[in-house]
């Protein structure tokens, strides 16, 4: 105790130190104590003082500690609540998320409004990690104050629309906790959840699958009715009337057709059967069991059998579910019969469950194999398992008539076993089997009567006595002698055996009173003075019933009917027979009892719900994402961009362009529904490039300018559909002087100025045309978002260099840059190399890199490593006092299609030395992250490079006068992007 006190004092002093290194070391040791299960609550005051530390690492560990002890030390935690509120605005997403987690861990009703406000703000956070923690906080707030349910449902509804895979699982869990009955919230998000399911983390996949299982049972009709109709039709009577035949034909014509949304769920969950997580596989298995047609449910069996190679806890749950499935659908697991054979290393609970499955799968074809297997199990040293095997043999004998006699003879042979438990269980099972066919097995009853002297287990002795008493008329010579023997040992018998001796005496008194009258009275006198009141009561009852006297009632007349009535044979059933009413994979199914929080599966509806409720309005989806970024765009009436005379002249050219593009539009439109903002952004930039292709042809002075202008009109009408068809065609070298850095933000204004000079329209009319684009385009708000990203990401161009020759540009860049059309008065150069103020990004911090620091910037030069490579300059610095050797690129984790050209390894970097190297990355025209390892001789560090949208483009230079002229035609964009 003294040592522990000294340790805590030492930690307190370190936490009060002025050095961050001492505080960080102390916090690491404290978190280590918590991980080991030690109590560190005494350090709460010292730790909470550091909650406002400026060191990010210390602050993270302090929040980890506070999440553990905030609920226990509520008063002290409340003192720091203002710090938590400030941390909710911290630029670091981890700090914001941790602050929200700590705030929701302080279970004090007085701060409920603060928590509610924090959750609402966090639900709109740009970081998906913070939004995920907001979903976690919803459940905590609901358990603290259920009256906030309506406000929390609003937040849940908002988060359900989130497209991030990080958020999906958490918000569905919050939905299940707060409002599981609000199925209407799922309608619009159903298809999105199905499509995101594969990419969600494993914990989230389990939650979403269980929720979608419940949802599907309320929205779709049963897929099992089809099987019933087909079966009925197949059992066709040869001589049935024509009318009956027509009715059956009509039934078959109206066979079940699966809803496309129902099929979408089954199709998207099927790949998860290959998951490494047993819970995910089990969740998909229960979904197929409850939702899939019976003919398709069999695909889960192989995955479930694979889980039997896991640890014993997983095996136990999986085998319980297989046992339930195998009762109703034996065919699913029959091919894997050998997988359920018991191993000597299996624990008893696993052995028993495997035995249960084997018994369920038994049929005429495999029963001989199973019985040989069971013979081995009976000899097991595990007595509980051996007894269970004997019960399984009895069930097989009951279910399969062909082997009843064989099983019965085998059980009789087991009666001579040396093990009393095996003999006792055999007697009990034989008793149950004999009740089904008592007339044919008199010899077995005689054999069991002979064993009575040797069997000592009370249950077995009681079973033999019951059999002899029940069928005493079939063994008239043996039964009285058995009663004589048991009367001698009556006082030494177990209570269970005494009760059966009394019953035997009563039955013999009624059927053979000459031989047993005195013997029965003797037994009744012994029972009258027995120590057990159960025996005394039974004796008193039997005496009044079978020995009539003056006090006897009317029941004595019916004594024979009462004692010798025909009794129904017992049914040997599986203990898992009645578990199918619980959802598979749930705690309630495992316990065979309704657990707290269990949500029952509803019955299939007779009529499916309207599938249109799951349709998502595209305009609404675009508006939703625009709202998240806080940007809106006004729509104005549409106006014709060209005069009627021009449209008539160029009708033929526009027709061919529109026909060639219409095929890809519908395909692209479908793909865009589930795409992210990044894919929308990349498609928008490609549209901008294709938009501006016809513009550059006016500069070259070709005769085909009219046709190109008309195709430009077609492109304008098809905004946000990503038509990149023209990118692959080769162009002439005189059009390669276009830049793609500003093509995504300025191509609209360029076409404006051309139209202004070519057709003589006023600038105001041109600007109104620009407002028309969002009306005709499908995702105009997303497109504007990309514009703002472009303007924010790039620094202004300062100087230009000479225009390069055509040989310098790659064919792909040539196609991208060819058709930018600008005003005739503009002097604009597309350059391959410009001197611009570069923005440097941190690749590896010196603390994380153990003294090795790395920064990178985009050189904005043509790729020297390949046509599609983006050139990246990496500056590596050694901040230590020792040299660092062998700096190179290690393992690369790149998305499909992305390529990387590594820089040459740096053999040695001296202390305080710095070196710049070049590498090339093909980002595939997307803003996906390129992840790789930066390695030294001794260490490996995971680093990421993510390009801003515009770094994938070449810059454009123009005079200030031309820039202002073009800028003036985009008032909405100008106002939003103008520096404040």
171 has a pLDDT exceeding 90? yes
Q: According to the per-residue pLDDT averaged within each range, which of 48-57, 301-310, 687-696, 752-761 is highest?
A: 301-310
d(CA 811, CA 817): 10
The number of beta carbons lying within 10 Å of the beta carbon of residue 419 is: 16
Lowest mean pLDDT among 353-357, 651-655, 728-732, 885-889: 728-732
The DSSP call for residue 235 is: S
Q: Which residue has the higher pLDDT, 771 or 240?
A: 240
d(CA 164, CA 673): 14
pLDDT tens-place string over residues 515-558: 888 888 899 999 988 899 999 999 998 888 887 776 666 777 77
Q: According to the per-residue pLDDT averaged within each range, which of 245-249, 360-364, 703-707, 786-790 is highest?
A: 360-364
76 has a pLDDT exceeding 60? yes
pLDDT tens-place string over residues 210-267: 999 999 999 998 888 755 444 444 444 444 555 665 555 554 445 668 889 999 999 9
Tell me the sheet residues that pair with 833. Answer: none
Q: What is the pLDDT of residue 853?
A: 93
172 has a pLDDT exceeding 90? yes
Q: What is the 3 state secondary structure string of 483-521?
A: HHHHHHCHHHCCHHHHHHHHHHHHHHHHHCHHHHHHHHH
Q: What is the pLDDT of residue 517?
A: 86
Q: What is the pLDDT of residue 152?
A: 94
Number of DSSP helices (H) and strands (E) in the chain, helices first: 45, 11
Phi-psi region of 5 (alpha: psi -120 to 50; beta: other; left: phi over 0): alpha
d(CA 617, CA 620): 5
Q: Which residue has the higher pLDDT, 178 or 470?
A: 178
Instruction: Check if the beta carbon of residue 559 is closer than 8 Å to that of residue 505.
Output: no
Q: What share of the chain in percent tops pLDDT 90?
A: 27
**Of 380, 303, 300, 314, whose CA–CA distance to 341 is shortest?**
380
pLDDT tens-place string over residues 626-675: 545 544 444 444 444 444 444 444 444 444 444 444 444 444 444 444 44
CA angle 525, 529, 533 (to 5 degrees): 120
Q: What share of the chain in percent tops pLDDT 70?
A: 71
333 has a pLDDT exceeding 50? yes
Q: What is the pLDDT of residue 122?
A: 93
Q: What is the pLDDT of residue 976?
A: 47
d(CA 51, CA 63): 7
Spatial CB neighbours of 108, under 8 Å, sequence gap ≥ 6? 74, 78
pLDDT tens-place string over residues 818-865: 444 444 444 455 444 445 567 888 999 888 888 899 999 888 777 677
pLDDT tens-place string over residues 279-293: 999 999 999 999 999
Q: If residue 829 lies in a helix (H) or strand (E), which one and from where to where?
A: strand 829-830
Residue with tokens 């093909």: 922
Residue 482: alpha-carbon gap to chain centroid: 65
Cα within 13 Å of Cα(259), Cβ side: 20
Residue 449: which pLDDT band, with cuts at 50, 70 and 90? confident
Q: What is the pLDDT of residue 954?
A: 67
Residue 513: which pLDDT band, with cuts at 50, 70 and 90? confident
pTM higher than the cut 0.85: no
Q: What is the pLDDT of residue 242?
A: 59
């Amino acid at each position: 105790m003294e040592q522990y006190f000294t340790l805590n004092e030492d930690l307190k002093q370190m936490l009060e130190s002025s050095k961050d290194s001492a505080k960080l070391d102390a916090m690491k040791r404290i978190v280590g104590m918590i991980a080991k299960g030690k109590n560190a609550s005494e350090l709460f005051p010292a730790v909470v003082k550091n909650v406002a530390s400026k060191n990010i690492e210390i602050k993270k560990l302090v929040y980890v500690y506070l999440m553990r002890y905030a609920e226990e030390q509520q008063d002290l935690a409340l003192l720091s609540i203002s710090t938590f509120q400030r941390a909710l605005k911290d630029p670091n997403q981890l700090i914001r998320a941790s602050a929200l987690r700590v705030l929701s861990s302080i279970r004090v009703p007085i701060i409920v409004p603060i928590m509610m406000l924090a959750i609402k703000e966090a639900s709109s956070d740009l970081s998906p990690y913070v939004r995920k923690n907001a979903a976690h906080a919803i459940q905590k707030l609901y358990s603290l104050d259920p009256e906030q349910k309506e406000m929390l449902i609003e937040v849940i509804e908002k988060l359900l629309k989130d497209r991030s895979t990080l958020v999906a699982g958490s918000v569905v869990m919050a939905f299940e906790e707060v409002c599981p009955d609000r199925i209407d919230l799922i309608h619009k998000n159903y298809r999105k959840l199905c499509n995101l399911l594969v990419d969600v983390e494993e914990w989230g996949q389990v939650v979403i699958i269980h929720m979608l299982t419940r949802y599907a049972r309320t929205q779709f009709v049963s897929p099992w009715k089809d099987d019933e109709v087909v079966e009925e039709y197949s059992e066709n009577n040869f001589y049935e009337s024509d009318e009956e035949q027509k009715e059956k034909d009509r039934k078959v014509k109206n066979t079940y057709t699966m809803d496309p949304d129902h099929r979408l769920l089954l199709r998207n969950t099927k790949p998860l059967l290959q998951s490494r997580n047993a819970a995910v596989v089990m969740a998909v298995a229960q979904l197929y069991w409850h939702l899939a047609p019976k003919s398709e449910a069999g695909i889960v069996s192989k995955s479930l059998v694979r889980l039997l190679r896991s640890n014993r806890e997983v095996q136990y749950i999986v085998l319980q579910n297989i046992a339930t499935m195998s009762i109703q659908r034996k065919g699913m697991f029959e091919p894997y019969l050998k997988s359920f054979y018991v191993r000597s290393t299996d624990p008893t609970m696993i052995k028993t469950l495997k035995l249960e499955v084997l018994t369920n799968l038994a049929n005429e074809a495999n029963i001989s194999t199973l019985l040989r297997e069971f013979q081995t199990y009976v000899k097991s040293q595990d007595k509980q398992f051996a007894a269970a095997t004997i019960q399984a043999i009895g069930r097989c004998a009951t279910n399969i008539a062909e082997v009843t006699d064989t099983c019965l003879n085998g059980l009789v042979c087991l009666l001579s076993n040396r093990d009393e438990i095996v003999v006792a269980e055999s007697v009990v099972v034989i008793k149950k089997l004999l009740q089904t066919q008592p007339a044919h097995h008199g010899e077995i009853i005689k054999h069991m009567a002979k064993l009575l002297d040797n069997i000592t287990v009370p249950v077995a002795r009681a079973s033999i006595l019951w059999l002899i008493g029940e069928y005493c008329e079939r063994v008239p010579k043996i039964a009285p002698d058995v009663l004589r023997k048991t009367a001698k040992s009556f006082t030494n018998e177990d209570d269970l055996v005494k009760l059966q001796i009394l019953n035997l005496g009563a039955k013999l008194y009624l059927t053979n009173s000459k031989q047993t009258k005195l013997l029965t009275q003797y037994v009744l006198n012994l029972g009258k003075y027995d120590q057990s009141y159960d025996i005394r009561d039974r004796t008193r009852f039997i005496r009044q019933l079978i020995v009539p006297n003056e006090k006897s009632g009317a029941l004595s007349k019916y004594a024979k009917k009462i004692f010798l009535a025909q009794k129904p044979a017992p049914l040997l059933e599986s203990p898992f027979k009645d578990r199918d009413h619980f959802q598979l994979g749930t705690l309630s199914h495992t316990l065979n009892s309704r657990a707290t929080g269990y949500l029952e599966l509803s019955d299939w509806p007779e009529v499916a719900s309207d599938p249109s409720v799951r349709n998502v309005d595209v305009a609404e989806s675009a508006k939703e994402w625009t709202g998240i970024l806080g940007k809106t765009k006004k729509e104005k009436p549409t106006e014709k961009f060209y005069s009627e005379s021009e449209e008539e002249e160029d009708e033929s050219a526009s027709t061919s362009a529109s026909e060639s593009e219409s095929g890809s539009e519908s395909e692209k439109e479908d793909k865009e529904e589930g795409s992210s903002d990044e894919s929308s952004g990349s498609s928008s930039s490609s549209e901008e490039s294709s938009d501006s292709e016809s513009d550059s042809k006016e500069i070259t002075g070709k005769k085909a300018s009219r046709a190109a202008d008309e195709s430009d009109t077609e492109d304008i009408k098809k905004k946000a559909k990503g038509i990149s068809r023209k990118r692959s065609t080769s162009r002439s070298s005189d059009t390669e002087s276009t830049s793609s850095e500003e093509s995504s933000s300025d191509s609209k204004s360029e076409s404006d100025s051309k139209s202004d000079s070519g057709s003589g329209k006023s600038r105001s009319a041109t600007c109104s045309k620009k407002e028309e684009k969002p009306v005709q385009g499908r995702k105009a708000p997303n497109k504007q978002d990309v514009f703002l990203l472009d303007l924010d990401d790039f620094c202004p161009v300062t100087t230009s260099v000479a225009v390069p020759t055509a040989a310098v540009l790659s064919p792909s860049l040539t196609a991208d840059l060819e058709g930018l059309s600008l005003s005739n008065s503009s002097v604009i150069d597309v350059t391959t190399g410009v001197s611009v103020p570069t923005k440097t990004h941190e690749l590896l911090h010196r603390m994380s890199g153990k003294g090795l620091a790395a920064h990178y910037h985009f050189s904005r030069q043509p790729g020297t490593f390949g046509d599609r490579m983006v050139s990246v300059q990496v500056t590596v610095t050694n901040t230590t006092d020792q040299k660092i050797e062998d700096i190179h690129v290690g393992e690369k984790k790149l998305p499909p299609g992305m390529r990387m050209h590594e820089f040459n390894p740096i053999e040695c970097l001296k202390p305080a030395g710095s070196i710049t190297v070049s590498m090339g990355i093909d980002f595939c025209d997307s803003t996906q992250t390129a992840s790789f390892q930066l390695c030294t001789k001794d260490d490996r560090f995971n680093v990421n490079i993510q390009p801003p949208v515009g770094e994938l483009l070449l810059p454009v230079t123009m005079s200030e006068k031309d820039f202002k002229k073009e800028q003036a035609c985009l008032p909405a964009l100008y106002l939003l992007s103008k520096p404040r």
